[in-house]
Amino acid sequence: MPGPGQAVRPDGRRATARDVAAAAGVSRTAVSFAFNDPARISAATRKRILQVADDLGYRPDTVARMLSHRRTGSLGVLLPQGIPEVMENPYYAQFLVGLGQVCQQEGLTLLLVPPLRDSMLKAIPYAAVDGFVVCGLEVDRGEVAELNRRGIPFVLVDSEAPEEVPSVDVADEAGAEAMMAHLLELGHRRIAILAFEAGPDREQYGYRGPLGRRLTGISRALEAAGMSLDHPTIELIEARATKSAGFEAAHRLLARPDPPTALFALSDILAMGALDAAYELGFAVPDQVSVAGFDDQPEAAWVRPRLTTVRQAVETKGRVAGDFLVAAIRGQSQHPHQLLQATLVVRESTGPARILTS
Amino acid sequence: MPGPGQAVRPDGRRATARDVAAAAGVSRTAVSFAFNDPARISAATRKRILQVADDLGYRPDTVARMLSHRRTGSLGVLLPQGIPEVMENPYYAQFLVGLGQVCQQEGLTLLLVPPLRDSMLKAIPYAAVDGFVVCGLEVDRGEVAELNRRGIPFVLVDSEAPEEVPSVDVADEAGAEAMMAHLLELGHRRIAILAFEAGPDREQYGYRGPLGRRLTGISRALEAAGMSLDHPTIELIEARATKSAGFEAAHRLLARPDPPTALFALSDILAMGALDAAYELGFAVPDQVSVAGFDDQPEAAWVRPRLTTVRQAVETKGRVAGDFLVAAIRGQSQHPHQLLQATLVVRESTGPARILTS
DNA sequence: CTGAAAGCGCTTACAG
DNA sequence: CTGAAAGCGCTTACAG
């Protein structure tokens, strides 16, 4: 049932360039020129063709044009989670702001490509894009090879990137180490680390990617204090990267008889939940419990008390990844790597450890 | 420069089905079957083909396959603003969560399609999608006709939708009217309305779409109180839909000698900024100034004081739009319309008007 | 200025 | 089970 303005042929299909050519008494070449290269035909012919095209409601087919041009005009973002999870996470929103700036500038669209049947690998062949930004590839289960097979440029972000592939990463290790050192220096020893969940490959490969690097940095700071992640007063808990999961995890920790004196959330969104849990349970922050985050989302500076966290330039990360990808699509870049800073930002949510009663 | 695993032919192009067929000594048909319909060829032939394909690093071309199948496997979201602006707005994040659920369920990807050279219309022909969700089309400048011409299904959301087109909308008018009545009932008369910016068509067409409907609702409530939008103590200001723009607008209003007793922000993100401005200037909320929002973003329940606002089910909106679109793509639906509720949610940020000193 | 032809790669009835 | 052929629509050197 065609709507208004939608012209169809007798057989129910949309008009094609062939139909227009026939109706206007010209070749398909001429029709194509009328749309794409007006200078190549006479004004009169062009006018007639356009008129006929209008009457038939003709529009060049998008996909056919892409096939001829060998170009789609869109960038893909290969995601480690489903679109709903990603959109719930302000980290990704910020990342996509940066990537979106590149799209804006280049006139490109952005294709969100979630795992297909839980597999990033399987999603790769179905996306009509000129290149991929690959996010959070903690373990390469063949994705890199598959992308190479498609012969499509790509940039790895927040991943475990081999040397020969363009990548953008953050100095997660140094950032986490600095924060942990900050907490230890404040006298904290009973510390809970709230990690966002590792991917499904954790069992097999251990902690990898940004999470792995942050934990390495934490270990290093602990070792400098003669401790380790296995120390009895250090605790590592995983939670989904949502505020409510952070709330629940922190609530459980703080409700115990021997609550930690500091919570180090490995992402701000978890820290926000922890802050609310502290508020709910009547813990003064930072007097009774310190809360630290990671990322420095804009919200971190708005909450009360303002959140002590590790700043990473997420928007920049997206922009750089986009720039690298565009360069690669143009065949300009070799294998650029960018390592972005991660810096400690001390605000109000951390302070000296409370005196332990037990 | 091919990377590891990327096989190319002598001429530098990727291997095609033709190359595989030649190398395996079979027809292109057989190659296609090996990948798509294994039952149609013998196991031995298939094995040989797959082996050769592997050696050559062959992968069926995504776009060519789309052209044959007449199907892209992705939904488009036609946006009224650039991707950066959209991603900065939690409203859209929430909307995309809902739409993303549909993608998840159907195994589809999601293409973000921002205006091309400031025109939604111009962006339509270049997106390889099976259908569009069109957001915030305040005035139809030919977009609907263009979509019909492409012969592609679409659903209008937050738009001015004609009867014959599928649409999802919210009872903005009723919601805004309820909020305005609430404020008037609390005794407020000096009220500033913080509107998010209308599109560029405002000059020519006046307020349309959700903003127009909200203003209509507000007018109605004012009229019931013997007032109107032109009343000297009622003020309408526009601001970009960001927290900082809300902050600045509210700051300017509250810093005046005769500040309003109530701020009605037409989106929560603006209300958040207003709350911060009040805090900054030492205005107690709601004792010295009431602040109301619209949308009921999750944050609205977390801020202190908790925000009085109008709830609309944004995630549901996205999901319903996605469902409508998928049904239309399957040719199942006629012209479904959904009107979602908008309900007043009174929390802590509104209270009786302060006594005016002037 | 105009058109016949080859090309972008893949798929899929159809015939054997 | 296998392949020649037509088809998905558009583009673009090339020749006239």
Residue B233 clears pLDDT 70, i.e. is over it: yes
Nearest to B3 among A83, A148, A302 (CB): A148
Smallest CA–C1' distance to D11, residue:
A68
Contact A109 B113 (CB under 8 A): yes
- The tokens describing B66, both together, are 């789309």
The SS3 assignment for A99 reads helix
Q: Residues near B355 by Cβ (< 8 Å), separated by ≥ 6?
A: none
Helix axes B268-280, B243-254, angle to 10 degrees: 50
Contact A87 B94 (CB under 8 A): yes
Q: How far is CA B13 from CA A49, A132, A149, B3, B62, in A?
A: 36, 19, 12, 13, 15
Element (H, E) at A220: helix A209-224
Q: Residues near B357 by Cβ (< 8 Å), separated by ≥ 6?
A: none
- Matching residue, tokens 């995630």: B315
Mean pLDDT value across residues B110-115: 98
All residues of chain A having their beta carbon less than 8 Å from the beta carbon of residue B165 are 3
All residues of chain B having their beta carbon less than 8 Å from the beta carbon of residue A94 are 87
Please check whether residue B303 is in contact with residue B297, taking contact to mean a CB–CB distance below 8 angstroms. no
Q: Grade residue A11 by pLDDT with cuts at 50, 70 and 90.
A: low
- The tokens describing B266, both together, are 């037409």
Q: What is the CA radius of gyration of chain B?
A: 27
Predicted confidence at residue B159, as pLDDT, reads 93
Q: What is the pTM of this model?
A: 0.93
Predicted confidence at residue A203, as pLDDT, reads 83
Predicted confidence at residue A179, as pLDDT, reads 98
Burial bucket for residue B134 (CB in 10 Å: 0-12, 13-18, 19+): buried
Mean pLDDT value across residues A58-81: 96
- Which of the pair, A194 or B1, is modelled with greater confidence? A194
Predicted confidence at residue B43, as pLDDT, reads 87
- The tokens describing B17, both together, are 């089905």
Nearest to B74 among A97, A111, A304 (CB): A111
- The tokens describing B2, both together, are 């091919």
Percent of chain A with pLDDT over 70: 96
Predicted confidence at residue B160, as pLDDT, reads 87
Contact B151 A8 (CB under 8 A): yes
Contact B149 A3 (CB under 8 A): no
Nearest to B87 among A7, A58, A97 (CB): A97
DSSP line for A167-232: EEEE-HHHHHHHHHHHHHHTT--SEEEEEEPP-TTHHHH-S-HHHHHHHHHHHHHHHHTT--TTST
Looking at A222-226, A232-236, A311-315, B17-21, which range is the least confident one? B17-21
Q: How many CB atoms sit inside 10 A of residue B280's CB?
A: 13
Predicted confidence at residue A14, as pLDDT, reads 83
Distance (Å, whole) CA B296 – CA B272: 11
How many residues are there in chain B?
Answer: 358
Mean pLDDT value across residues B60-82: 96
Distance (Å, whole) CA A73 – CA B84: 18
Q: How far is B245 from chain A (nearest CA, A)?
A: 14
All residues of chain B having their beta carbon less than 8 Å from the beta carbon of residue A243 are 298, 302
Distance (Å, whole) CA B101 – CA B87: 18
Distance (Å, whole) CA A204 – CA A139: 10
Nearest to B103 among A57, A63, A114 (CB): A114
Predicted confidence at residue B205, as pLDDT, reads 87
Q: Which nucleotides of chain C are near protein (any atom < 7 Å from a CB)?
A: 1-5, 7-13
pLDDT, tens only, B125-153: 999 999 999 999 989 999 999 999 999 99
Residue B17 clears pLDDT 60, i.e. is over it: yes
- The tokens describing B257, both together, are 């000698």
Q: What is the mean pLDDT of chain A?
A: 92
Q: How many CB atoms sit inside 10 A of residue A2's CB?
A: 12
Mean pLDDT value across residues A143-151: 93
Predicted confidence at residue A39, as pLDDT, reads 85
pLDDT, tens only, A154-200: 999 999 888 899 999 999 999 999 999 999 999 999 999 999 987 77
Query: Max Cα separation, chain B?
Result: 94
- Matching residue, tokens 């900050």: A182
Residue A236 clears pLDDT 60, i.e. is over it: yes
Residue A3 clears pLDDT 50, i.e. is over it: no
CA of residue B50 to C1' of nucleotide D9, angstroms: 29
Mean pLDDT value across residues B120-125: 96
- The tokens describing A173, both together, are 């290790």
Q: What is the mean pLDDT of chain B?
A: 92
Element (H, E) at B264: strand B262-265
Kind of pairing, strands A109-113 and B109-113?
antiparallel
Instruction: Give the nucleotide nearest to A20 (CA→C1').
Output: D9
Highest mean pLDDT among A35-39, A112-116, A195-199 belongs to A112-116
Please check whether residue A274 is in contact with residue A306, taking contact to mean a CB–CB distance below 8 angstroms. no
Looking at A132-141, A279-288, A305-314, A328-337, which range is the least confident one? A328-337
Picking from A54, A81, A87 by the largest number of B CB atoms within 10 A of its own CB, the best residue to mutate is: A87
| Best CA proximity match to B140, nearest among A3, A62, A53 | A3
pLDDT, tens only, B174-218: 999 999 999 999 999 999 999 998 777 788 888 999 999 999 999
The SS3 assignment for A144 reads helix
Contact B145 A84 (CB under 8 A): no
DSSP line for A67-92: HHHT--SEEEEE-SS-HHHHHH-HHH
Contact A62 B126 (CB under 8 A): yes
Predicted confidence at residue A304, as pLDDT, reads 86
Helical spans, DSSP H, in B42-167 = 43-56, 62-69, 83-88, 90-106, 120-123, 143-150
Predicted confidence at residue B310, as pLDDT, reads 98
All residues of chain A having their beta carbon less than 8 Å from the beta carbon of residue B105 are none
Burial bucket for residue A186 (CB in 10 Å: 0-12, 13-18, 19+): middle
CA of residue A43 to C1' of nucleotide D15, angstroms: 23
Q: Grade residue B290 by pLDDT with cuts at 50, 70 and 90.
A: very high
Mean pLDDT value across residues A140-144: 93
pLDDT, tens only, B299-316: 899 888 999 999 999 999
Predicted confidence at residue A1, as pLDDT, reads 38
| Best CA proximity match to B265, nearest among B233, B231, B289, B287 | B289
Please check whether residue B83 is in contact with residue A318, taking contact to mean a CB–CB distance below 8 angstroms. no
Smallest CA–C1' distance to C3, residue:
A27
Mean pLDDT value across residues A56-80: 95
Please check whether residue A97 is in contact with residue A87, taking contact to mean a CB–CB distance below 8 angstroms. no
Q: How far is B185 from chain A (nearest CA, A)?
A: 32
Contact A127 B7 (CB under 8 A): no
**Phi and psi torsions of A139, nearest 5°:** -130, 130
Distance (Å, whole) CA B191 – CA B290: 9
**Strand D closer than 7 Å to the CB of B28?**
yes
Burial bucket for residue A52 (CB in 10 Å: 0-12, 13-18, 19+): buried
- The tokens describing B262, both together, are 């109530």
Q: How far is CA B199 from CA A299, B218, B271, in A?
A: 27, 20, 20
Q: Grade residue B87 by pLDDT with cuts at 50, 70 and 90.
A: very high
Instruction: Give the nucleotide nearest to B20 (CA→C1').
Output: C9
Predicted confidence at residue B5, as pLDDT, reads 44
- The tokens describing B249, both together, are 């607008």
A 57-76 residues, CB < 7 A, strand D: 58-61, 64-65, 67-69
Predicted confidence at residue B38, as pLDDT, reads 84
Predicted confidence at residue A9, as pLDDT, reads 54
Percent of chain B with pLDDT over 70: 96
Contact A57 B116 (CB under 8 A): no
Q: Grade residue B357 by pLDDT with cuts at 50, 70 and 90.
A: low
At B340, the amino acid letter reads L
Please check whether residue A128 is in contact with residue A136, taking contact to mean a CB–CB distance below 8 angstroms. no
Q: Residues near A43 by Cβ (< 8 Å), separated by ≥ 6?
A: none
Contact A96 B87 (CB under 8 A): yes
Smallest CA–C1' distance to C7, residue:
A68
Q: How far is B89 from chain A (nearest CA, A)?
A: 9
| Best CA proximity match to B252, nearest among B192, B307, B198 | B192
**Strand D closer than 7 Å to the CB of B62?**
no
Please check whether residue B295 is in contact with residue B322, taking contact to mean a CB–CB distance below 8 angstroms. no
SS3 content of chain A, % helix, strand, coil (to 5): 45, 15, 40
Mean pLDDT value across residues B244-251: 96
HSE, side-chain direction, 13 A CA sphere, residue B275: 26
Residue B358 clears pLDDT 70, i.e. is over it: no
Predicted confidence at residue B2, as pLDDT, reads 39
Residue B226 clears pLDDT 80, i.e. is over it: yes
All residues of chain B having their beta carbon less than 8 Å from the beta carbon of residue A59 are 125, 146, 149-151
- Which of the pair, A28 or A198, is modelled with greater confidence? A28
Q: Grade residue B1 by pLDDT with cuts at 50, 70 and 90.
A: very low
